[in-house]
Structure 1
């Protein structure tokens, strides 16, 4: 609901970029260390109070407070704020950080409403159930039962800075399971649904909706831990494993076609993405590659083995760790089947997501990890691929090390020019592709069903499911107009 009720200085445009929302305009210094924002004159909250720089500062300082545990906190750490006047403020960065503008999509809180709430009580405040923002819609009704919120009614905000939405009222109903959600849609109780799995999408018989498929800046792949499993130190082994996978089968059979095959760490729809390098699915060639590098197939053990002087015999045997998400379990089993056809022994280990994060990923206790990464609209691959991020809390789950890539990523995050940064990201991806530290499998789509009468929905790229509403103020209902004389005659 936050994307509907609240407004930020900037707003996602639904096509991979950002547009000014509460900000009339902004300026970036040549050195990339300061950003000046000018708040629109006439911008107001849904209670009629004007939006000022004080509200922006209050919101950001609140997000920076560790007690609040805001997911936006990390993006604002080390950023200093200077109030120039009631409608102008400046952000000071300690060092250039190209994706900084993403931080300014944070929804602005009205200080006059929240300032007297103790910081420890913010997350539990009743104000969260009747929020006041400056976004395109305001909440007019809410219904709860013993288990929680069941529905919300939103009405358009007439003074929204980008123009009052054409659709005057939207009702959201909430369901405890996907099964109940699908039943409500099939029965005609609701007209739109989202976050439907590809498997259940095929079961829908209702035909008066348009299926919208939107790009998500997320990648799923298999990340090899060379520290836990020394066989992954051999590049030909990693290449042979990728060559024996039919990525198209995974996209088709697991995701119902609602995903895109990928070959690099930045997916389509994110800034800096490069064209797909078509993967070569060739089991015979994969076996030949292993054999050229000293691996021999053991008829006794039915796997590839490698003997080296003064070293223990290696076996092409390892485990894949993943979460208990149905799509990932099915993908893991396809990988297992494919690699066993190659001549490997593979064990699939499935964990609850909290257990996987806490006891497997953080401690780096896995041979191969089937997992996803949220790359973002304007990515900073540093956390995922810089060698300094190999250990927790870093996110380099491939434990990848490359001095060349380190230098590229360090330089890229300091560049203000998008053109220069895009070139760095291209170089980065080509280096990673050449090193093959991981097998990049797919980038999923977000599935959303809308009534066919809803027009003006041109959103293609989103970072979070809520961004499907990025352009909701432009949506309208297709209406047929009939001349009164014709209506009277009929």
Structure 2
């Protein structure tokens, strides 16, 4: 949610201390370990119609995708490298044992469709044709991907939804417009319905003068910062 509160999607709960689905204990190394329990949604399918196999697909994502070391593009293994084991007492209950403490333990684990990505060796996943037509379990699926130009999305008929809800918009087109002036011209001409990031302050102020254009300033959980290069002699003190 926009305020940073976690909400379950493919799971039915967010682990927490109050109901005992997030606990701590002393591990065999004498350090504080943790356990998180997730109750998983039934009837979930990938966008190609194949049923989600939670144990297979989550373990594939954690151990093969993130922790195998075979995919160079993985930026970080944290917090998954703190996992001791992932257990499934039944197909819709997952218990994760953590060999260290981490505030991200209740954020869930990654999940990837093993039946899809295992068609190619792990080392070739990001360079294979599969990378441009991925499947997932969200409300939309990729219709077409023209690299460097646009991605179009259409409703995923296999989406589990929430309380029977269905996608309302029948087609999304995400365009890459690297030049801010070109983006502004597209906005002013009505060719772009929404820009997420890209217009600078000056362009946004110019667009705001048009009655049909609304500029929104919304507080968010994103943050920006400056990094000090302390290896530079000028800043090394």
The two structures share one fold, judged by TM-score above 0.5: yes
Match of 2:170 in 1: 168
4+ aligned runs moved over 6 Å, structure 1: none
CA contact (8 A) 1:65 1:73 kept: no
- After superposition, residues 422-437 of structure 1 pair within 5 angstroms as none
Name the structure, 1 or 2, with higher relative contact order (CA <8 Å, separation 6+): 1
Contact 2:149–2:176 (CA under 8 A) maintained in structure 1: yes
SS in 2 for 1:37: strand
Task: Give the equivalent residue in structure 1 for 2:78.
Answer: 74
Q: CA deviation at 1:105?
A: 6.3
Q: CA shift at 1:30, angstroms?
A: 4.7
Cα distance in 1 for partners of 2:145, 2:51 equals 26
Between Structure 1 and Structure 2, which shows a larger proportion of strand residues? 1
How far residue 35 of structure 1 moved from its aligned partner, in angstroms, is: 1.0
Give distance in 2, aligned partners of 1:42 and 1:160: 10
Question: Separation in 2 of the partners of 1:125 and 1:201?
Answer: 38
Kept in 2: contact 1:45–1:134 (CA 8 A): yes
Corresponding residue of 1:133: 136
- For 1:76 and 1:105, how far apart are their aligned partners in 2? 8
Per-residue deviation, residues 211-250 of structure 1 (Å, max 9, x unmatched): 23232442536x8xxxxxxxxxxxxxxxxxxxxxxxxxxx
Q: Is the Cα–Cα contact under 8 Å of residues 44 and 52 in structure 2 kept in the other structure?
A: yes
* Structure 1 equivalent of residue 18 of structure 2: none
**1:101 maps onto 2:103 in alignment:** no
TM-score (norm 1): 0.40
**Map of 1:209 onto structure 2:** 213
Aligned residues: 214
Q: Find the structure with the greater CA-based Rg.
A: 1
Aligned residue in 2 for 1:40:
41
Q: Distance in 2 between the 1:115 and 1:192 partners?
A: 36
Contact 2:35 2:96 in 1 (8 A): yes
Q: Identify the residue that residue 116 of structure 1 maps to in structure 2.
A: 119
The question of whether the paired residues in 1 share the 8 Å contact of 2:154 and 2:170 is answered with: yes
SS in 1 for 2:167: coil
CA, structure 1 residues 115+365, in 2 after alignment: closer, same or farther (shift >3 Å)? Answer: farther
Residue 160 of structure 2 is aligned to residue 157 of structure 1? no
Q: C-alpha displacement at 1:21, in angstroms?
A: 0.4
> Offset at 1:133?
0.2
- Give the superposed CA RMSD: 2.5
Post-superposition offset of 1:16 = 1.0
Q: How far apart are 1:41 and its partner, in Å? A: 0.5
Q: 1:365 to 1:66 in 2, by over 3 A?
A: farther
- CA deviations on 1:370-407 (whole Å, 9 max, x unpaired) are xxxxxxxxxxxxxxxxxxxxxxxxxxxxx9xxxxxxxx
The change in CA–CA distance for 1:160 and 1:367 in structure 2 (over 3 A counts) is same
In the alignment, which residue of structure 1 is the partner of 2:184? 182
Are the equivalent residues in 1 in contact too, given 2:58–2:112 (CA < 8 A)? yes
Closer/same/farther in 2, CA of residues 118 and 365 from structure 1, 3 Å limit: farther
More helix per residue:
1
Q: Aligned in 2, Cα 1:365/1:74: closer, same or farther, shift over 3 Å?
A: farther
Per the alignment, residue 424 of structure 1 pairs with none
Alignment of structure 1 residues 235-246 onto 2, 5 Å: none
Q: Does the C-alpha gap of structure 1 residues 208 and 105 become closer, same or farther in structure 2, counting only changes over 3 Å?
A: farther
Identify the residue that residue 2 of structure 2 maps to in structure 1.
14
1:395-435 per-residue CA deviation (whole Å, 9 max, x = no partner) reads xxxx9xxxxxxxxxxxxxxxxxxxxxxxxxxxxxxxxxxxx
- Unaligned ranges ≥5, structure 2: 16-20, 26-32
